[in-house]
Amino acid sequence: MRLIFIRHAEPDYEHDTITEKGWREAKLLAPRVQGWNVTKFYRSPLGRAQDTSKPSLQACGRDAETLEWLREFQVGAYNVVNRRTATAWDMYPEAWTEEPVHYDKDHWAESPLYRGTNARTEYDYVTGNLDALLASYGYRRHHNYYHVDADAQRDATLVCFCHLGVTCVILSHLLGVSPIVLLHGLFIPPTSVTIVQTEERLPGCAAFRCQSIGDTSHLYVGNEPVSIMASFVEPFQERDYDYHFDKIPEW
Write down the H helix ranges in the chain: 20-34, 47-60, 93-96, 119-136, 164-175, 179-185, 217-221
In the prediction, which pLDDT does 235 show? 75
d(CA 91, CA 108): 14
List the one residue out of 82, 136, 31 whose CA is nearest residue 91. 82
In the prediction, which pLDDT does 200 show? 97
**C-beta of residue 113 within 8 angstroms of C-beta of residue 95:** yes
In the prediction, which pLDDT does 236 show? 75
d(CA 84, CA 91): 10
CATH among 3.40.50.1240, 3.40.640.10, 3.40.50.2000, 3.40.50.1820 for 2-240: 3.40.50.1240
d(CA 217, CA 215): 6
Per-10-residue mean pLDDT of the chain, 251 residues long, equals: 98 96 98 98 98 98 98 76 66 88 95 85 97 98 97 98 97 97 94 98 97 96 87 68 56 61
**C-beta of residue 162 within 8 angstroms of C-beta of residue 49:** yes
List the one residue out of 132, 187, 162 whose CA is nearest residue 8. 162
In the prediction, which pLDDT does 83 show? 56
Residue 245 CA neighbour count, 13 Å, CB half: 0
Between 47-60 and 20-34, two packed helices, what is the crossing angle to 10 degrees? 40
List the one residue out of 114, 118, 119 whose CA is nearest residue 80. 114
Report the predicted TM-score, pTM, of the whole model to 2 decimal places.
0.92
